């Protein structure tokens, strides 16, 4: 017996680089696809981040220094489009791909080939949108909201934008169906819905939003293309169409979209805070209920993006918008109550999770002003909105994404990211972020409209703009620290233990990185924290054996 | 690290105070009401902000892991969750009526406004038509901002329209913005209470020169306003230029004509050559009896940019006529003198 078990490396040759490349290109393993999602998303993050730095450099001082007006309009459009549709959403889908099957104790996603297809559509989508820069007239330049009629006037870059988003939309719908089926059908024995890890709940809620909302924007994009190229008049008021139809279609998708971009980050933070507090998530049921309430309510608030059109029912959408802050507020209470009386450890994942709570609070509160229509008339379409969206999507989601990266990196790569570089990364990102985006509230109150390529020196906006530009470069430094951390860590040997943080959920019950088939054996699932149960049972057994 | 966190909190508190100070007062009664709403929301939001951030910091300091004893495994009770749902509900219940009260005041329309102005927005200029005074004010894109002059303490009614894409009428000092939408005119009132000159600009992205689509709101005393109306009317009547051959040349660039006055000899056919230098934008050339466009003598088909087109026009009797690009309206108009 012993002889047959001896490893004989000579019989299994190291795969050649070409074979390994083909293996990656044709993989249907959810973990490998998850890693592809990360590489693709962070590449887009880098491109769209450089665009942000170009914009901030241009806006640091009045006058045109770096970008022509034409270039600026293209750059701000693609910055928003790429960050929202091709960085944040896909990177969260990457976490979902890698960790949902592990968290629920499954072998893979329900439809592995569909899973590969939804990933491979994304780089094609990103390249299609970016290829607009090579088109006559340049890339799309109507903002990420792409309002008509301005988007009907644009050149071929706009068609490429529409095509790219159609691909991303199809990718996300396929992915969402895959997540829903995986979570509903492939859970391990004992993993009831109310024992589902909270990140998997968040991914389920996100997927429901995608399935219900994304087909609406897909239809809208087809209508827009038809208006541009096939002579239809859905959005042309001169021939019986309506410009507001686009906004209704866009925001009926667009507001649920905001929750698609934050729910999974809430899920990650709701995993990380309990682990690093040494306590279960306070009010698990309340968090699940809040997720579901937000999912439902998010379909009733879209027209708060349209208060200033003067063409929507203001009190109704104001009330629904304010109602959605109730379940959101409950999440904050649950996170704080989880920390109370805990044993808090401040490793990088926890730092980013705490940064998330502190910053997302601001993004939630400054939204309250805009939820009141009369107040919205004063600050809508100003830099206040730019501040708000970044406190939600950067202060919220990106801090959450970084918390997730530091938390799960050892599981994905078998190596621990440097704690010291992680702390540098956190503090630079925290300071740079506030330096960039807090002054934008004040710019909004002082009347600086968003999406302007230039401003007059006598408007009193110069100092705050310069400050924001300095902050943007501090964020850039933070991201370089993160990049260095990843590169340095990837060159080290694989030494991470299966469960470096004292985790609760099933992904910590397998090796780091997990084998191709995910688990050698699954622990019994008798609560929402099977790995915690296993650990405490082992400790109790050890203590029982000692005397 | 704890000290750094405290410093960060202190910075935030200072910022919150600054935020209150930085909100500008409105220069209209409606704007002042919106400012008051801003302060009310600030008073509700600040305790929430301080409470949550302070509790977070307190947890960070108080519950830092110091030993290996396990934490109490408290999963939370239904009762606590009930309280968690109740707190934001109460805050929203207080906040909502404040907002609605201000909204009803801001949306209120005066039955007898002092001044009625039709505001037309287009790429990338504004036209202000004073309906009762029969006066049209406009600017020259990238050269001169349009001026909207109004008397203090009188209700100004604005009828807001767009001639092409979406725009937005925004004067920060009024704490107010409203979209100009093709196909959906908007109406609103404001009552300026402070004399002065206040910058305004388009706030809805509208293409290449969006950032330069500025205008100026000038609030003056009623006598100054009356005098300004008189002088603007007289200036419009005094426009004059020498008569040349029966062939005129017009250049459209940045949605402006190169001239506000044309002159041709009477009772003979004449030609007009229109050079459109605005890539992607169409212009027309029309001749009417006056800016109300009661009688149409000629209207060309749209001239796409950049092209040149020459049109043959019928003979006209001696007199003063009005020419206009009907796509862009009074801002691209002028006087045609036949003599």
pLDDT in tens, chain A (547 residues): 344 444 555 566 778 889 999 999 999 999 999 999 999 999 999 999 999 999 999 999 999 999 999 999 999 999 999 999 999 999 999 999 999 999 999 999 999 999 999 999 999 999 999 999 999 989 999 999 999 999 988 889 999 999 999 999 999 999 999 999 999 999 999 999 999 999 999 999 999 999 999 999 999 999 999 999 999 999 999 899 999 999 999 999 999 999 999 999 999 999 999 999 999 999 999 999 999 999 999 999 999 999 999 999 889 999 999 999 999 999 999 999 999 999 999 999 999 999 999 999 999 999 999 999 999 999 999 999 999 999 999 999 999 999 999 999 999 999 999 999 999 999 999 999 999 999 999 999 999 999 999 999 999 999 999 999 999 999 999 999 999 999 999 999 999 999 999 999 999 999 999 999 999 999 999 999 999 999 999 999 998 876 5
Put simply, whether the predicted model's pTM sits higher than 0.80 gets the answer yes
Exposure string of B173-211, with b = 16+ CB inside 10 Å and e = fewer, is bbbbbbbbbbbbebebbbbbbeeeebbbbbbbbbbbbbb
**Nearest CA-CA partner of A89 in A269, A260, A211, A302:** A260
The model's pLDDT over B52-80, given as tens digits with 9 standing for 90+, comes to: 999 999 999 999 999 989 999 989 888 99
* Predicted confidence (pLDDT) at residue B110 exceeds the cutoff of 70: yes
- Tell me what ipTM this predicted complex has: 0.92
List the single residue in B74, B173, B176 with the smallest CB-CB distance to A341. B74
Percent of chain B predicted with pLDDT > 70: 94
List the single residue in A150, A339, A456 with the smallest CB-CB distance to B63. A339
Q: Report the distance separating Cα A118 and Cα A107, nearest Å.
A: 19
Q: Which of the 8 DSSP states describes residue A82?
A: I
Q: Identify whether A16 is part of a domain.
A: no
**A/B interface, count of CB pairs below 8 Å:** 262
How many domains are contained in chain A?
Answer: 1
* pLDDT of amino acid B7: 60
* pLDDT of amino acid A1: 38
Q: Which residue has the tokens 């006087």?
A: B335
Residue B319, Cβ neighbours under 10 Å: how many? 11
Query: Which CATH number goes with the domain that contains A527?
Result: 1.20.210.10
> Considering chain B, what is the average pLDDT of its residues?
90
Owning domain of residue A229:
26-532
Q: What does the pLDDT average to over B217-243?
A: 91
Three-state helix/strand/coil letters over A465-516: HHHHHHHHHHHHHHHHHHHHHHHHHHCCCCCCCCCCCCCCCHHHHCCCCCCC
Which residues on chain A are in Cβ contact (under 8 Å) with B37?
372, 374-375
List the single residue in B71, B75, B201 with the smallest CB-CB distance to A341. B71
**Interface contact flag, A278 B65, Cβ < 8 Å:** yes
Q: Which residue of B has its CA nearest to A353?
A: B56
Q: Report the distance separating Cα B261 and Cα B242, nearest Å.
A: 9
**Interface contact flag, A381 B73, Cβ < 8 Å:** no
* pLDDT of amino acid A10: 54
Q: Report the distance separating Cα A290 and Cα A259, nearest Å.
A: 12
Q: Identify whether A351 is part of a domain.
A: yes
* pLDDT of amino acid A479: 98
Q: Which of B50, B162, B207, B255 to mutate to test the interface with A (most CBs of A within 10 A)?
A: B207
Q: Identify whether A7 is part of a domain.
A: no
Q: Identify whether A445 is part of a domain.
A: yes
Environment class of residue B8 by beta-carbon count within 10 Å: exposed (0-12), middle (13-18) or buried (19+)?
A: middle
Q: Report the distance separating Cα B194 and Cα B175, nearest Å.
A: 14
Q: Report the distance separating Cα B276 and Cα B255, nearest Å.
A: 9
Q: What does the pLDDT average to over B199-214?
A: 95
**Interface contact flag, B204 A452, Cβ < 8 Å:** no
Q: Identify whether A3 is part of a domain.
A: no
Q: Identify whether A11 is part of a domain.
A: no
Q: Report the distance separating Cα B266 and Cα A20, nearest Å.
A: 86
Which residues on chain B are in Cβ contact (under 8 Å) with A326?
85, 88-89, 92
Taking the CA of residue B330 as centre, how many other CA atoms within 13 Å lie in the half-sphere pointing to its CB?
22
Q: Identify whether A21 is part of a domain.
A: no
Q: How close B86 gets to chain A, by Cα (Å)?
A: 8
**Interface contact flag, A372 B183, Cβ < 8 Å:** no
Q: Identify whether A10 is part of a domain.
A: no
List the single residue in A73, A238, A242 with the smallest CB-CB distance to B208. A73
Q: How close A378 gets to chain B, by Cα (Å)?
A: 4
φ, ψ of residue B163 to 5 degrees: the values are: -95, -15
Q: Sign of the CA dihedral B235, B241, B243, B246?
A: negative
Percent of chain B predicted with pLDDT > 90: 69
Token pair listed for A468: 């924001």
* Predicted confidence (pLDDT) at residue B16 exceeds the cutoff of 70: no
CA A511 to chain CA centroid, nearest Å: 26
List the single residue in A343, A365, A442 with the smallest CB-CB distance to B49. A365
Which residues on chain B are in Cβ contact (under 8 Å) with A361?
49, 52-53
Q: Report the distance separating Cα A408 and Cα A500, nearest Å.
A: 10
Q: Which residues contact B274 (CB under 8 A, 6 or more apart)?
A: B250, B252, B283, B285, B300, B303, B308, B309, B310, B311
């Amino acid at each position: 017996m012993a002889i047959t078990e001896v490893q004989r490396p000579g019989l299994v040759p190291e795969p050649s680089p070409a074979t390994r490349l083909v293996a990656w290109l044709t993989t249907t393993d959810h973990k490998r696809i998850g890693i592809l999602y990360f590489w693709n998303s962070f590449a887009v993050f880098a491109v769209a981040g450089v665009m942000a730095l170009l914009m901030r450099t241009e806006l640091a001082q009045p006058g045109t220094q770096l970008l022509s007006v034409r270039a600026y309009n293209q750059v701000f459009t693609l910055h928003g489009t790429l960050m929202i549709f091709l960085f944040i959403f896909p990177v969260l889908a990457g976490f979902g791909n890698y960790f949902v099957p592990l968290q629920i104790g499954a072998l893979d996603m329900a439809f592995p080939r569909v899973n590969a297809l939804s990933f491979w559509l994304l780089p094609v989508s990103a390249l299609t949108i970016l290829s607009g820069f090579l088109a006559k007239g340049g890339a799309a330049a109507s903002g990420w909201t792409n309002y008509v009629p301005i988007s009907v006037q644009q050149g071929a870059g706009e068609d490429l934008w529409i095509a790219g988003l159609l691909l991303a939309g199809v990718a996300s719908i396929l992915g969402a169906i895959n997540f829903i089926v995986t979570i509903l059908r492939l859970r391990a024995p004992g993993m009831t819905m109310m024992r589902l890890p909270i990140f998997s709940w968040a991914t389920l809620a996100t997927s429901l939003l995608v399935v219900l909302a994304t087909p609406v924007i897909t239809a809208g994009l087809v209508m827009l293309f038809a208006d541009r190229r096939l002579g239809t008049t859905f959005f042309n008021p001169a021939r019986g169409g309506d410009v507001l139809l686009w906004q209704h279609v866009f925001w009926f998708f667009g507001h649920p979209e905001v929750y698609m971009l934050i729910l999974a980050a809430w899920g990650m933070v709701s995993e990380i805070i309990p682990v690093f507090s040494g306590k279960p998530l306070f009010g698990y049921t309340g968090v699940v209920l809040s997720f579901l309430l937000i999912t439902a309510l998010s379909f009733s608030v879209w027209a708060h993006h349209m208060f200033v059109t003067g063409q929507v029912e203001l009190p109704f959408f104001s009330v629904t918008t304010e109602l959605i802050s109730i379940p959101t507020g409950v999440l904050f209470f649950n996170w704080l109550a989880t920390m109370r009386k805990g044993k808090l450890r401040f490793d990088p994942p926890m730092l980013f999770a705490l940064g998330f709570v502190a910053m997302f609070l601001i993004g939630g509160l400054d939204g309250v002003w805009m939820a009141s229509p009369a107040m919205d008339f004063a600050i809508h379409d100003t830099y206040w909105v730019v501040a708000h969206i970044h406190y939600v999507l950067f202060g919220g989601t990106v801090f959450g994404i970084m918390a997730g990266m530091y938390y799960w990196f050892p599981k994905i790569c078998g190596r621990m990211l440097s704690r010291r570089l992680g702390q540098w990364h956190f503090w630079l990102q925290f300071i740079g972020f506030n330096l960039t985006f807090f002054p934008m509230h004040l710019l909004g109150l002082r009347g600086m409209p968003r999406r302007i390529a230039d401003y007059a020196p006598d408007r009193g906006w110069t100092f705050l703009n310069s400050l924001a530009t300095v902050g943007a470069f501090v964020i850039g430094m933070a991201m370089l620290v993160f990049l260095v951390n990843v590169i340095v860590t990837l060159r080290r040997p694989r030494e991470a233990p299966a469960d470096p943080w004292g985790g609760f959920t099933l992904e910590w019950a397998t090796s780091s990185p997990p084998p191709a088939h995910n688990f050698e054996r699954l622990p019994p699932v008798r609560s929402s924290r099977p790995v915690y149960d296993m650990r405490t049972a082992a400790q109790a057994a050890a203590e029982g054996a000692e005397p | 690290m704890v000290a750094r966190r405290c410093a960060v909190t202190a910075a935030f508190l200072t910022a919150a105070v600054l935020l209150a100070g930085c909100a500008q007062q409105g220069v209209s009664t409606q704007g002042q009401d919106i400012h008051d709403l801003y302060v009310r929301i600030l008073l509700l939001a600040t305790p929430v902000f301080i409470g949550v951030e302070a509790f977070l910091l307190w947890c960070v300091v108080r519950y830092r892991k110091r030993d290996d004893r396990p934490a109490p495994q408290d999963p939370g009770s239904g009762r606590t969750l009930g309280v968690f749902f109740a707190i934001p509900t109460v805050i929203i219940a207080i906040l909502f009526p404040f907002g609605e009260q201000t909204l009803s005041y801001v949306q209120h329309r005066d039955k007898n406004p002092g001044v009625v102005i039709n505001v037309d927005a287009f790429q990338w200029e504004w036209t202000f038509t004073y309906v009762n005074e029969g006066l049209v004010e406009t600017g020259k894109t990238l050269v001169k901002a349009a001026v909207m002059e109004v008397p203090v303490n009188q209700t100004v009614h604005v009828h807001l329209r767009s001639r092409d894409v979406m725009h937005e009428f925004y004067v920060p000092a009024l704490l107010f913005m409203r979209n100009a939408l093709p196909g959906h005119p908007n109406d609103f009132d404001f009552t300026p209470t402070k004399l002065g000159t206040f910058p305004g600009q388009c706030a809805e992205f509208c293409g290449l020169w969006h950032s330069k689509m500025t205008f100026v709101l000038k609030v003056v005393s009623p006598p100054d306003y009356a005098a300004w109306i008189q002088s603007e009317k007289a200036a419009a009547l005094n426009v004059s230029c020498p008569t040349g051959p029966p062939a005129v040349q017009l250049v459209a660039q940045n949605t402006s004509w190169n001239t506000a006055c044309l002159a041709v000899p009477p009772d003979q056919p004449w030609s007009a050559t229109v050079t459109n230098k605005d890539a992607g934008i169409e212009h027309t050339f029309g001749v009417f009896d006056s800016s109300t466009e009661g009688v149409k003598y000629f209207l060309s088909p749209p001239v796409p940019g950049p092209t040149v087109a020459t049109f043959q026009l019928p003979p006209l009797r001696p007199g003063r006529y009005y020419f206009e690009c009907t796509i862009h309206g009074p801002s691209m108009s002028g006087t045609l003198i036949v003599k």
